[in-house]
């Protein structure tokens, strides 16, 4: 039996953001986003919609015509397909050809992907800014590519990509080379000031450690974007060796704040942005 819930008040003036996924029952982002919108007193609501792939273009076309729909959010499997339906892509989305947030204004759709933006914002807030650093990103799948793009835009001294599929990493390195010196390398901490795990290794306690920390540089930072478990084996080993670390929780928190700013820029300009948790986990 479902217990009582606290829902935002929805009126004719409420701005609507549609969260698109297939399936939808596992998605929880709308809960955190609606909590933030309510806490900030913003007249907006995020509504999850179950949209199969074959219905995506029709839904997006309809949403463009609804004047109170200010944005779309996307998760699996719609990130790449939704990017193709946008009129304009932000700098990170243009690199990875995927979006997880789309601002809709006057029928025009502008998309961006915020995984990497959230990571860079959180890392900077926690004293692990990539700017001016030699950075390793291990794993260049969906989230890893977005992280690499955001890191490249932040101005690192060098960006090294490590991925099991060389062709995918090579293609990404070719795109990012215009932003900063970028090359491929092995998943080892040696020679880097900051290492970031964007692989799924660490979700299971029996997983191998994705980055070799054997020759890690003194004072180098270690970030693992996995949020659950909070302490992966990679992060634990780095912490035990005295290195500054960060898990995936702050990345998620900062990503949500950045998405709200993007979808509701008028509220952000008025200083109504929901606060970011001061998490250092």
In angstroms, rounded to a whole number, what is the distance separating the alpha carbons of residues 261 and 263?
6
Contacts of 16 (CB under 8 A, 6+ apart): 44, 45, 47, 66, 68, 69, 70
Active-site residue flag, 79? yes
Q: Give the torsion through C-alpha atoms of 56, 61, 62, 64, to 10 deg.
A: 120
The catalytic position among 79, 133, 168, 175 is 79
Angle between the 115-125 and 249-263 helix axes, to the nearest 10 degrees? 120
* DSSP letter for each residue of 22-33: SS-TT--HHHHH
Query: Phi/psi zone of residue 74: left (φ > 0), alpha (ψ -120 to 50 degrees), beta?
Result: beta
Provide DSSP, 134-176: EEEEE--SHHHHHHHHHHHHT--SEEEEE-SSHHHHHHHHHHH
Look at the chain and count its residues.
281
Task: Please report the DSSP string for 222-262 in residue order.
Answer: EEE---SSSS-HHHHHHHHTT--EE-SHHHHHHHHHHHHHH
Retrieve residue 197's tokens.
């795990």
Nearest Cα neighbor of 172 from 195, 202, 152 is: 152
| Residue 57 per-residue DSSP state | H
Assigned token pair, 89: 């892509």
Diameter over CA atoms, the chain: 59
Active-site positions read: 79
């Amino acid at each position: 039996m479902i217990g009582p819930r606290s829902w935002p008040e929805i009126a004719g003036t409420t701005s609507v953001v549609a969260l698109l996924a297939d399936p939808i029952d596992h998605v929880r982002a709308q809960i955190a986003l609606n909590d933030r919108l309510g806490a900030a007193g913003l007249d907006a609501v995020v509504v999850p919609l179950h949209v199969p792939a074959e219905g995506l273009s029709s839904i997006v076309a309809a949403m463009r015509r609804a004047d109170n729909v200010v944005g779309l959010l996307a998760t699996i499997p719609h990130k790449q397909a939704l990017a193709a339906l946008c009129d304009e892509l932000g700098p990170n989305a243009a690199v990875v050809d995927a979006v997880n947030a789309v601002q809709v204004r006057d029928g025009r759709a502008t998309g961006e992907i915020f995984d990497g933006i959230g990571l860079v914002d959180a890392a900077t807030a926690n004293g692990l800014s990539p700017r001016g650093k030699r950075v390793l990103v291990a794993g260049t799948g969906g989230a890893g590519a977005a992280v690499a793009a955001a890191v490249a835009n932040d101005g690192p001294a060098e960006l090294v990509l490590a991925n099991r599929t060389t062709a995918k990493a090579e293609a990404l390195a070719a795109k990012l080379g215009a932003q900063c010196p970028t090359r491929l390398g092995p998943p080892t901490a040696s020679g880097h000031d900051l290492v970031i795990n964007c692989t799924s290794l660490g979700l299971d306690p029996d997983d191998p450690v994705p980055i070799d920390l054997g020759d890690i540089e003194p004072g180098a930072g270690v970030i693992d974007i996995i949020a659950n478990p909070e302490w992966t084996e990679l992060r634990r080993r780095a912490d035990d060796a005295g290195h500054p670390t960060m898990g995936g929780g702050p990345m998620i928190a900062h990503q949500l704040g950045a998405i709200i700013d993007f979808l509701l820029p008028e509220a952000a300009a008025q200083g109504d942005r929901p606060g970011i948790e001061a998490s250092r986990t």
